[in-house]
Chain A
Amino acid sequence: MTRRAEAGLIVAACLLAAIGVAIVEFTQGNWLDAQVALTFLAFAAAFGGVYLAVIRWAPGASSLLLPLAAFLTAIGFIEIYRLDSHLAALQRWWLLVAAAAGALVLWALRDAGVSVLRRYRYVILAIGIGLLLLPLLPDSWLVYGATVNGSRLWVRIDIPGASRVMSFQPGEVAKVLITIFLASYLAERAEAMSVVSRKIGPFEIPEPRHLGPVVVAAVAAFLVLVYQRDLGASLLLFGIFVGMLYIATGRSFYVVTGAALVVIAGWTALVSFDHVQRRIEAWLDPFGHFSEAGYQTVQGLFAMGSGALTGSGIGLGRPDLIPAAATDFIFAAVAEEMGLAGSLAVLTGFSLLIAVGFGIALRSRERFRKYLAGGLMLVIGLQAFIIIAGVLRLMPITGLTLPFMSYGGSSLVTNMAIIALLLRVSHEERT
């Protein structure tokens, strides 16, 4: 695909967002107003900006990534705007910040390339773990952790002077930093780790000392679960660990062990935490727990079922009835108002993004870039899968944002940074 076609698709995504906002305004009984223009301008500035950064600093990059990201962001934004126009106004600012972050990544790596990240891998790991632990800071500090919906994922900063509070989810950024570290670590150790020393039954077992990373991964994920009470983040983190180990070594042993550990950890969590228990019960029988833990899941099913094939129409459904519709349940909100047509478009968008991202990894000639691209795509793909599967009741619901689509600054910034890194990796394969 040419750069010109890419630009055309980006403009189409910007128009999509603006038209969506216009339809919402109309169904609320308003006329076309500044919101439509502001939305178009914000999208054009954000994605146009990254597009220009690509032309300037990574001209060989894949032209498929940005249009897909823009499309998913636009669909999500329309639904956020429909649910809460104030949130959407904030999200517009976050979109600009995210685009700036993406452009910054492209600029920072313009000469040295992604390989420069390998040099700082332990610094990156330290920052990643630090960010992961940040929400555990006591409440009395200037920068402190906060518990939202039973999970301690947030960090708030009281800005002195102004009575404003800034809050963000450091875990979003941490998972990218940890992925970068893993890619770099595995690029060096993979061969050693894939050496088979003995067999137990059908499984080929590597040297015990190479098991270290897996155990570390399990322990880290479990600790996150214990202290932050966040099922989704720990599952995602663990999935990234196991997935990258498998990509690097090709040993299904890691996947099997990982799955076993998830089951054990999950079981332990089930018996030790009330809130996990309630979630499992609500998953198995949401209608029986309608007035309590099953409420959100059931409202999601009601929304999707009511949406049927073509949806209620943007602005004409009742996605506001779903708790956390703009964040965790944005998929159900889109499915209600845009119908099966809309939900399939979203799933297709993610599938294409995964195909493009892994395609970049497959074509990479160098281990680190291969693992980095694969790992980053795993972050987006797994996260999207875990939250959508939860909404569709294929697994218990976990609090995760849907990449590009959910409301949330940290999430949007992180995912744009991931796209920028993928763009850079694809550029380096062309040069």
Chain B
Amino acid sequence: MNTSLRTTTYALLGAFALLIVSVIYIQAIKGPDFRDDPRNVRAIAWLTGRQRGPIISADGVVLAISTPSPSDPKLYERLYPEGSLYAHTVGFTSVLFGSRGVEQTRAADLISNRDATISGVLNGLLGGDTKPRGVRLTLRDALQTVARDALGEQRGSVIAIDPTTGAILAMVTYPSFDPNTLIGPDAGAAGEALERDEDDPLRDRAIRQTYPPGSVFKVITAASGLDTGLVSPSSEFADPVYLRLPGSESTISNYDGRVCDNGTSVTLKFAFVKSCNTVFAKLGMNLGADTLGGTAEAFGFNSEVPFEFDVLTSFFPLRGTMQDDPPATAQSAIGQRDDRATPLLMVLTVAAVANNGIMMAPYLVSEIFTSEGVVEATTEPVAWRRAMSPASAGVLADMMEQAVISGTGTRAAVPGVRIAGKTGTAETEGSAPHAWFIGFGPLGAESGDPQIAIVVIVESGGAFGESATGGTVAAPIAQRVLAAFFGVTDTR
């Protein structure tokens, strides 16, 4: 009698052991499959359905906001009212394509702290605010819009920065995409189309793409010469049609294939203003690979830029690799050969010139504020590195101003504002040259410091194709942004 009772007991306990095995299989082994099933609303709810704090521009324009979902009262919908304009900076949070931009980097502030973690519970019990925080960016919507319109449908990017603080004032990239399409019901198809697109709209060209810097690198070569005391603006250089590179058959010529000034001699300043390759190639060889490399690294080449997002590291040939190779040094001195720079590093470069040689760490988030609008945290500007001496920066600024007054950068001039700048036309294999412009202003203002530094890069000549130069393609874009910044409407 007890035997059958025991058998029954064991059978029932065995059945429960089967349940235990089965629940372990479902929760611990098969769990992720069920969790990530596209029909499981939880994944969507957890990632995108929770209330998130707003993201606003410096001038208060709403860039991202959560609204209660009309279909499910427990869910929120994220809306990016400005669409593609802030796609790479504000980013998105998508079930299928993950999280990008400030939506990713500031998720901890943007998502409610109300959870069951010990810190969450303690925070709530101690009367802490558990509502999601808002994020204010340094980007100015007015400037961002102008930058986008000025760049138009040309692949490239525009970044404007406050040189004294490092606050990014505008940062646009073309092509872009509408983040709203990546969170909607057709997100899968929209995202796949973006991933297939050969122009790679998902890439933030401002920080995730490097280009040969071309002549804008001459700012760094000049800084190297000035800082070491090797040259001054009035230093005389020979003015040949071709500069023969020692130990090789190759030569370097100027952009138009002519002499720089009179064919005999030319000053450094004149060569800078006209962007003569022969002079800067020669200066590079005079400096030597190590000195030039040291200056490039002082400007942040071969270093990770401290920023909100991962920035591709800009490259200058490592020290020791060009020591016995003057031709390579010559080409590197004019921003060709293996030199590669992100647009962000080039705007930091010109900002350092504007800021007495101090390169500020760039930042994108200015404030974190509570749901009541009380500012909780403010980003304090920090210096990233000293790029050059204040004296050299002053001299360079003067040379750059002349480049805008009478040199290659005249199309960046803004009436009534003293602008400094440098153009670049970077030769690239297999495509039209990339057009660069870097600049800043105002110089000599009563307020003292320059207020804006800018970089423009247009890939493969943009609308101008093979005939494009930094002066014809990039400088006018910079002009529109600078004019808008200074409130100048008539730019003729």
Contact = CB atoms under 8 A, between A and B. Distances in A.
Contacts of A385: 12, 15-16, 19
B13 A351 contact: yes
A26 B124 contact: yes
A361 B1 CA distance: 11
B112 to A, nearest CB: 9
Contacts of B34: 301-302, 304-306
Interface string B17-58: 111101110111011111101011111010000000000000
B234 interface: no
Given A315-B116, A350-B16, A355-B13, A243 B27 contact: no
Contacts of A321: 41-42
Contact of B16 (A298, A339, A354): A354
B8 A308 contact: no
Nearest to B43: A306
B5 A243 contact: no
A370 B130 CA distance: 57
Contact of B5 (A318, A344, A347, A370): A370
Interface in A244-258: 246-250
Contact of A306 (B16, B17, B42, B116): B42
A392 B19 contact: yes
A318 B17 CA distance: 27
B5 A305 contact: no
**B22, B33, B125, most chain A CB atoms within 10 A:** B22
B262 interface: no
Interface stretch (A102-110, A171-179, A374-382, A411-419): A374-382
Contacts of B39: 290, 298, 302
A247 B74 contact: no
Interface in A324-355: 335, 339-340, 343-344, 347-348, 350-351, 354-355
Contacts of A318: 41-42, 45, 74
Contact of A247 (B4, B27, B32, B41): B4
A358 B184 CA distance: 56
Contacts of A320: 74
Contact of A340 (B28, B121, B130): B28
B116 A313 contact: yes
A40 to B, nearest CB: 18
Contacts of A264: none
Given A309-B28, A343-B23, A358-B8, A370 B41 contact: no
Contacts of A302: 34-35, 37, 39-40, 42
B2 interface: yes
Contacts of B74: 318, 320
A307 interface: yes
A317 B26 contact: no
A250 B27 contact: no
B40 A306 contact: yes
Contacts of A250: 1, 3-4
B23 A378 contact: no
Nearest to A389: B19
A316 interface: yes
Given A306-B40, A370-B1, A343 B27 contact: yes
B192 interface: no
A100 to B, nearest CB: 29
B35 A305 contact: yes
Contacts of B130: 29
Nearest to B49: A318
Contacts of B32: 305, 308
A378 B124 CA distance: 45
Contacts of A348: 20
Interface in A275-321: 290, 298, 301-309, 312-318, 320-321
B115 interface: yes
Contacts of B117: 313
A194 to B, nearest CB: 9
A75 interface: no
Given A306-B34, A318-B42, A358 B115 contact: no
B9 interface: yes
A318 B42 CA distance: 7
Contacts of A389: 15, 18-19, 22
B492 interface: no
Contacts of A52: none
Given A313-B115, A318-B45, A347-B16, A340 B8 contact: no
B8 A247 contact: yes
B418 interface: no
A251 B37 CA distance: 48
A211 interface: no
A200 to B, nearest CB: 21
Nearest to A318: B42
Interface in A16-33: 23, 26-27, 29
A286 B31 CA distance: 16
B5 A381 contact: no
A23 B117 CA distance: 11
B106 interface: no
B24 to A, nearest CB: 7
B13 A354 contact: yes
B6 interface: yes
Given A26-B124, A385-B19, A389-B19, A306 B4 contact: no
A62 B143 CA distance: 79
Given A26-B124, A313-B115, A304 B27 contact: yes
Contact of B115 (A27, A243, A309, A382): A27
Contacts of B23: 304, 335, 340, 343-344, 347, 392
Contact of B116 (A307, A314, A354, A355): A314
Contacts of B5: 247, 358, 361-362, 370, 374
Nearest to A357: B9
B114 interface: yes
Given A344-B20, A347-B20, A305 B4 contact: no
Nearest to A298: B39
A305 B31 contact: yes
Contacts of A29: 114, 130
A290 B39 CA distance: 9
Contacts of A303: 42
Interface string B116-133: 110001001100001000
Given A303-B42, A358-B9, A392-B26, 18 more contacts: A23-B121, A247-B5, A250-B1, A250-B4, A302-B42, A305-B30, A305-B35, A308-B32, A312-B42, A318-B45, A348-B20, A354-B9, A355-B13, A361-B5, A374-B8, A382-B12, A389-B19, A392-B19
12 contacts: A26-B121, A29-B130, A246-B7, A309-B27, A318-B41, A335-B23, A354-B16, A358-B5, A389-B15, A389-B18, A392-B22, A392-B26
- In order of increasing CB-CB distance, the 8 nearest A-B pairs are A305-B34, A313-B116, A250-B4, A358-B9, A305-B31, A302-B40, A340-B27, A306-B35
